[in-house]
Structure 1
Amino acid sequence: MARTPPERIGLKEKLGYGVGDLASGLYLNFFGFFLLYFYVDLHGLAPAAIGLMLLLTKLVDAVTDPMMGMIADRTRSRWGRYRPYLLFGAVPFGLFGVLVFAVPDLSQGGMLVWAYVTYTMAMVVYTVANVPYGGLLGVISPSATQRASVTAWRMFFSATAGIMIGVLATTLVRELGGGDEARGIMLTMGCIAVVSVFCLLTTFATTKERIPPAAQNGSIGGDLRELLRTGPWIAVAVAAIMGVIAIASRAGSALFYFKYVVGDDGTPVFFFLDRVALFYTALALGQVSGVILGNFLQRRFEKAHLIIAAGALKASAIVLFYMLPLDAVWPQTLVQYFVGVGFGILMVLAFAMFTDIAEYVDWRSGKQMTGLVVSASIFAVKAGVALGAAVPGFVMGLTGFVAGESQSEQAMMGINLAFALIPAAALIPGGIAMMFYRLDRRLIATVESELATRRELPG
């Protein structure tokens, strides 16, 4: 009997799914760019205290992300397994994002508690919405080619979030704050929250789950053991963590780098963009280019090889940026663009590989655990964001950074370490990990074909 070809996903649904990552991208980019600066430079909290907060929230995520994935895998509703969480998680997602920056008049100790509690809750509701969003990609089509195409749109919108933050964030903070930078950051976050809620609801309304759930799932412990002995997942998770650490550490230290090392006063250098905005916009434009390039190249080359090449490009560009003169605005902008190209290639391929791995696990073990595989993968990315964002806090704390003061030579070196040297070094183990990735295009084609046949069999 001829096998029914998988349903082709239309452009409307690809856009509808992709726009959901605009919400996630706006949040993670804004947090990565402003959170450390907001609490350390504007409110005077210790850099190490905020760095520790970013790490401790990942201990919570280590529990909540896989748990949310397994809950979603086992959910049965008229909307499917994963889509209901986009509907009911959208508003809390927006609310807690704003609360992180809506700091009341508190003592330093009270402010630190506020930061810890609100940021932890923001990450929990991020998990409730974003883990099922990622799981939805794994069941939106049984075709690896179709999933890769949807992933490309997802990464396009993720990169678009970076462009929006780069182009608009510093300007909105300046204009909405009216001289009060902290207020400007909070109000800008409020605008982001409204857009993000709309994006998540759009994804819910325009997408469809096409892979039917299994009649029953395995045990939670069995699923976790299956994941932890899946070598390809470990390899991609390590590469994703290291790749994101490099970007997050640079993003978290960029405001400090331009303010204290470069001596930039925020004067626009290109239309209304100051040097910080230009730096971040170049990264995001490069990321868009990398997403498009990566989606094209994966049709001809193995994804693992492309990720290794992308990491080499990123590391080289980061080192070159560091070696350029501080006043070389346009050469730095060009080099930062290529950092973004490498990052875009990494992310579009990594997320496509995560859904391939979910199908591989189903084929190998007969267990449908898409939500767990994707949630664990999202945790890897979030861990990279947190570790990378924590690096500046710890390094600046150890090297004697003092907010609002002229910095010592040691403190300046600390900023440079967090901005350039540590990010470049972090990419090396990610490339090594990808050498152990064994799911080539031929094996994925076999997995896809055999799973399709298995799913069409009665019973």
Structure 2
Amino acid sequence: MSKNASKSTGTLSRGKVFAYSLGDVANNLSFMMTSMFLMVYMTDIAGLSAGVAGTIYGITKIWAGAADLIAGQTVDRINTRWGRLRPWLLFGSTPLAIVFVLLFSAPAGLSPALTVAWIFLFDALFQLAYSFVNIPYGSLSAAMTQDSVDRSKLSGARSIASAVTGVLLSAVVAPQFNDTTGDDVRLRFTLTTIALAVLAVILYLICFKNAREVVPRSATKISLKRTMTMIRQNRPLIVLCLGAFFLLASIFTMNAVGMYYARYVLGNAAWYTFLALAQTVGTVIVASLVPGITTRFGKRNGYVGAAVVITIAFVLIYFVPDGNLVFAIVAWFLFGLGSGGTNALMFSMQADTVDFGEWKTGLRAEGGSYSILSFIRKTGQGVGGWAGAAVIGAFGYVGGAEVQSESALQGIRLATGILPAGLAILALVVMLWYNLSVDEHRGIVRELNTRRSEGAVSTAYGVDLGRVVVEELGDQRDLLLRPPSRGVLPVVTIFELEGSGATDIGPRLAEKLGVKYVPQKFSSDEVAKVEISALSSDNAFDRWLRTVSFTGTQDADLARALGVAEDFSLAQANRVELLKLAEDGAVIAGRNGALVLGRGVGTLHVRLTAPTNKRVERVMSKTGLSQSQAESRIAVEDRVRAEMSRNLYQWDPNADEYYDLVINTGTVTYEQVVDMIVGFYRSKYPETDTEVGTNG
């Protein structure tokens, strides 16, 4: 298989994607253990009051946000024969496992003050150790492949792994809280965490063994000064961060005290597993719907709608009758829909605010922007956990008691229902001030594309920006691709639906115009060399896996930042390459040329299409594939190329508005198409030298 061909259809096997996802299973064996069960461990087993337990939970979660920043600045400074990131999985997993076990192994004979000190110390160490494993693990996806489609698969796989781990973990741990008065309860927890820690280390090692760092680390560095300059003028980001604070506070208020609800309101701690499963199903379902929601309603409205759903879920949780598991499952399912929807849209909106910040200030700060959001989210988690514990403590919760008072039960209901509902409403109200619509973002992306192309030309020729732009010629073309003294040579970009004839038409067109022909970066001919089974590898499951990217994760902010930064880096490299290729005239196939060179003086942008049956016939003739194989190849090619364009440039290459000429090649010969384009070009640019070029 050729290297380029594999890049076009995806470079990573399902085995490597699965092995990578095991790293997030390992992550969540400890992360979710602390998120879901640490609070109840502190009150019902270690014997701390709810108020003290909540204070520890709150402080260490906020510290976790700072630890993420420390790890983000540190992990790639050390280079080894295994790379910069993988060694942290190899050497960091064991210290993480040790402090994780110690956190849940507070000795029975300690005084209350020493118990507080024990848990506080080891929770703080756990958060730091976790950051030094989770941050490089999240960064690893961008180092494993430059293919944005593959990176989406990796993040989707970790989202599913995260969601499934939560359910399995609750099935193992939750039943142990039905009786916390036994003499062996501390030993059981120590043994449970030892088993989880050993399993986590094994999974980290599997991930380490199967991952490879093949892409140089290129994400933007985090500069506090640069970030603060951008944030001050970035209202959408400020609003998003404030909304994220209240939303995560609401979610973790409920998460931190959810076990109390299962044990005392529903009457069976083991039933927490069913609640976690209902939440996971809701999260996975909404992940598949988010793209459609975004298209139809916009990101802000989709977020607000999801926040309404999560608010309703919290209210229902408050009113669930004692012992009614079915009612609770419905409420937790709605909670999954709301939390999954808001989380997915939050990441998507965050990427938009990075573009807005660059457009407003000229500063692009993916790392800083996501770091700020990550810290705010962790702060919200801490405040939420503290608030939930404070409420149940104020209403008289007694740790480890077989039966709680009516007042304590009311406190548990308030902490899992009304309080998080109020916080969710605050998040909803705040997000009404988010003023970056889909249409506005689309306009910003277009303007940024123009600026970046102008900047690239200015840098290439070492001249001021003002000298690379001329007055519009009446056709929206104002970007000079070469010095005026050298005249204008033909530049034609071609984008095709697979099987529309670009590989035959392009070279003939270049010859007639007297310029060079530049094929697609990842050509269909190369893809044809891939094994037949690989042509249909982009199946429904793979597409769905990419759809749920980052939806089910609560701690992947910096990983998402690296993905955005890597896409931007690739797009910029392609931009520079295109401008260099166009300098002496060219016919350029693919490469997002119609967008990047859209305003170039002397450019013509063409899109080729044809009826599906005609395209299938041509692919069969050219490659020897069967009809079903040709149909599969066409579907994969068209879908993946469009997806890569959306990831790298936020545009749809199949939208006719970007082209000067759209030609149906199914009803004319290739020579007629060539003559048509040449004639149209000469009529559009009569003064351009279309006879003498680099090949003339």
For the aligned pair, the TM-score class normalised by the smaller chain equals 0.7 to 0.9
**Letter in structure 2 aligned against 1:281:** L
Contact 1:260 1:412 in 2 (8 A): yes
Partner of 2:117: 113
Contact 2:62 2:379 in 1 (8 A): no
Give the deviation of 1:180 after TM superposition: 3.1
Q: Counterpart of 1:63 in 2: which secondary structure?
A: helix
Contact 1:141 1:211 in 2 (8 A): no
Q: Counterpart of 2:323 in 1: which secondary structure?
A: coil
Partner of 1:290: 286
Give the deviation of 1:112 after TM superposition: 1.0
2:142 and 2:230 mapped to 1: Cα distance? 17
**Letter in structure 1 aligned against 2:313:** A
Give the deviation of 1:161 after TM superposition: 1.8
Contact 1:250 1:418 in 2 (8 A): yes
Tell which deviates more after alignment, 91-100 or 177-186.
177-186
2:202 and 2:391 mapped to 1: Cα distance? 38
Give the deviation of 1:123 after TM superposition: 0.6
2:152 and 2:302 mapped to 1: Cα distance? 15
Partner of 1:438: 436
Contact 1:138 1:358 in 2 (8 A): no
> Among 302, 308, 320, which residue is 2:304 paired with?
308
Tell which deviates more after alignment, 114-123 or 368-377.
368-377
For residues 217-228 of structure 1, what are the structure 2 equivalents within 5 Å?
217=221, 219-227=223-231
Give the deviation of 1:252 after TM superposition: 2.2
- Encode CA deviations 1:20-50: one digit per residue, 9 max, x unaligned: 3323333232212221111112232111111
> Among 421, 424, 437, which residue is 2:421 paired with?
424
Give the deviation of 1:352 after TM superposition: 4.6
Contact 2:62 2:378 in 1 (8 A): no
Partner of 1:411: 408
> Among 446, 455, 459, which residue is 2:573 paired with?
455
Please tell me whether residue 92 in structure 1 is matched to residue 95 in structure 2. yes
Please tell me whether residue 382 in structure 1 is matched to residue 378 in structure 2. yes
Give the deviation of 1:326 after TM superposition: 1.8
Runs (5+) with no aligned partner, structure 1:
267-273
1:357 and 1:18 mapped to 2: Cα distance? 28
Q: Counterpart of 1:334 in 2: which secondary structure?
A: helix
Partner of 1:43: 46
Tell which deviates more after alignment, 164-173 or 5-14.
5-14
Are the structure 2 counterparts of residues 210 and 376 from structure 1 closer, same or farther at C-alpha, using a change threshold of 3 Å?
farther
2:182 and 2:449 mapped to 1: Cα distance? 56
1:154 and 1:22 mapped to 2: Cα distance? 8
Give the deviation of 1:89 after TM superposition: 2.4
1:393 and 1:357 mapped to 2: Cα distance? 34
Contact 2:253 2:416 in 1 (8 A): yes
Tell which deviates more after alignment, 197-206 or 242-251.
197-206
Contact 1:22 1:158 in 2 (8 A): yes
Contact 2:11 2:150 in 1 (8 A): yes
Give the deviation of 1:299 after TM superposition: 6.2
> Among 132, 136, 143, which residue is 2:136 paired with?
132
1:347 and 1:355 mapped to 2: Cα distance? 13
Please tell me whether residue 61 in structure 1 is matched to residue 58 in structure 2. no
- Encode CA deviations 1:118-163: one digit per residue, 9 max, x unaligned: 0010011112122333445567677776655543333222211221
2:435 and 2:98 mapped to 1: Cα distance? 40
What is the TM-score normalised by the length of structure 1? 0.81
> Among 398, 401, 411, which residue is 2:397 paired with?
401
Are the structure 2 counterparts of residues 186 and 140 from structure 1 closer, same or farther at C-alpha, using a change threshold of 3 Å?
same
2:371 and 2:89 mapped to 1: Cα distance? 15
Contact 1:152 1:348 in 2 (8 A): no
**Letter in structure 2 aligned against 1:188:** T
Give the deviation of 1:220 after TM superposition: 4.3
Partner of 1:206: 211
Are the structure 2 counterparts of residues 106 and 158 from structure 1 closer, same or farther at C-alpha, using a change threshold of 3 Å?
same
1:360 and 1:74 mapped to 2: Cα distance? 30
Partner of 2:277: 281
Q: Which has the higher helix share?
A: 1
Give the deviation of 1:323 after TM superposition: 2.2
Tell which deviates more after alignment, 219-228 or 385-394.
219-228
Q: Counterpart of 1:286 in 2: which secondary structure?
A: helix
**Letter in structure 1 aligned against 2:126:** A
Please tell me whether residue 164 in structure 1 is matched to residue 177 in structure 2. no
Identity of matched residues, %: 25
**Letter in structure 1 aligned against 2:426:** P
**Letter in structure 2 aligned against 1:310:** A
Partner of 2:612: none
Tell which deviates more after alignment, 358-367 or 202-211.
358-367
Tell which deviates more after alignment, 225-234 or 54-63.
225-234
RMSD: 3.9
Contact 1:155 1:347 in 2 (8 A): no
2:232 and 2:198 mapped to 1: Cα distance? 38
- Encode CA deviations 1:51-76: one digit per residue, 9 max, x unaligned: 11122224433533223223347666
Partner of 1:269: none
Give the deviation of 1:231 after TM superposition: 3.7
Tell which deviates more after alignment, 313-322 or 200-209.
200-209
Are the structure 2 counterparts of residues 207 and 243 from structure 1 closer, same or farther at C-alpha, using a change threshold of 3 Å?
farther
Give the deviation of 1:420 after TM superposition: 0.6
Runs (5+) with no aligned partner, structure 2:
453-567, 581-696
1:198 and 1:189 mapped to 2: Cα distance? 14
Please tell me whether residue 182 in structure 1 is matched to residue 186 in structure 2. yes
2:143 and 2:430 mapped to 1: Cα distance? 27
Give the deviation of 1:111 after TM superposition: 1.0
> Among 31, 34, 38, which residue is 1:31 paired with?
34
Contact 2:233 2:361 in 1 (8 A): no
| Higher RCO (CA-CA < 8 Å; seq separation 6+) | 1
Contact 2:58 2:381 in 1 (8 A): no
Q: Counterpart of 1:402 in 2: which secondary structure?
A: coil
1:297 and 1:172 mapped to 2: Cα distance? 40
**Letter in structure 2 aligned against 1:192:** L
Give the deviation of 1:397 after TM superposition: 2.3
2:87 and 2:359 mapped to 1: Cα distance? 26
Give the deviation of 1:358 after TM superposition: 5.4
Give the deviation of 1:239 after TM superposition: 3.6
2:239 and 2:153 mapped to 1: Cα distance? 22
Q: Counterpart of 2:436 in 1: which secondary structure?
A: coil
